[in-house]
Amino acid sequence: MWGCAVTVDCVTAYPLVSTQAESFGITDLSREFGITPRALRFYEEEGLIAPRRDGATRIYSRRDRARIAWILRGKSLGFSLDEIGELLDLYDLGDNRATQRAVTAERCRLRVEGLRHQLSEVQAMIDQLSRFATALEQHAAA
């Protein structure tokens, strides 16, 4: 879904190892991604993945597997499940994922801006705390 598996030009927190398999069980994907079956069921409840059923057994497709990688990558970058769902939905527009890539890149840039702002606020707080501690120590020594 991101347009790559494991390549040099696509940094990914959850690379998809190449496989010929067309379907996967809940245990397979839980192990592969290091998540619980409950997490997979939760993503299904949230409408982010849609495994088919064979009785009570969930059967995940290659598409579901790719979407799970997207979900986990998005979560690792601080996106909400709603945001991740919106980005996943852009995959099906039929434009060779151009919109999905563009919107995702823009959302990443906005997130970077927000994090840079937070970082400057944290640095200002560190500086203020350091000055205050130094002033207290100097007052105590006097």
Give the C-alpha separation, 6 to 15, whole Å. 5
In a domain, 48, yes or no: yes
Give the C-alpha separation, 62 to 74, whole Å. 18
Q: What is the pLDDT along the chain (142 residues), one digit of tens a residue?
A: 444 433 333 345 566 788 889 999 999 999 999 999 999 999 999 999 999 999 999 999 999 999 999 999 999 999 999 999 999 999 889 898 899 999 999 999 999 999 999 999 999 999 999 999 999 999 988 8
Which DSSP helix (H) or strand (E) runs through 128? helix 98-141
In a domain, 52, yes or no: yes
CA dihedral 36, 61, 2, 115 (to 10 degrees): -20
Domain of 58 in residue numbering reads as: 23-115
- Is residue 15 within 8 Å of residue 1, measured between CB atoms? no
In a domain, 107, yes or no: yes
In a domain, 45, yes or no: yes
DSSP 21-60: -SEE-HHHHHHHHT--HHHHHHHHHTTS---EEETTEEEE
CATH number at residue 74: 1.10.1660.10
Looking at residue 13, its pLDDT comes to 52
pTM of the model: 0.77
In a domain, 80, yes or no: yes
Looking at residue 8, its pLDDT comes to 32
Number of domains in the chain: 1
In a domain, 139, yes or no: no
Looking at residue 2, its pLDDT comes to 40
Closest by CA position to 30, among listed 39, 20, 17, 21: 39
Looking at residue 11, its pLDDT comes to 43
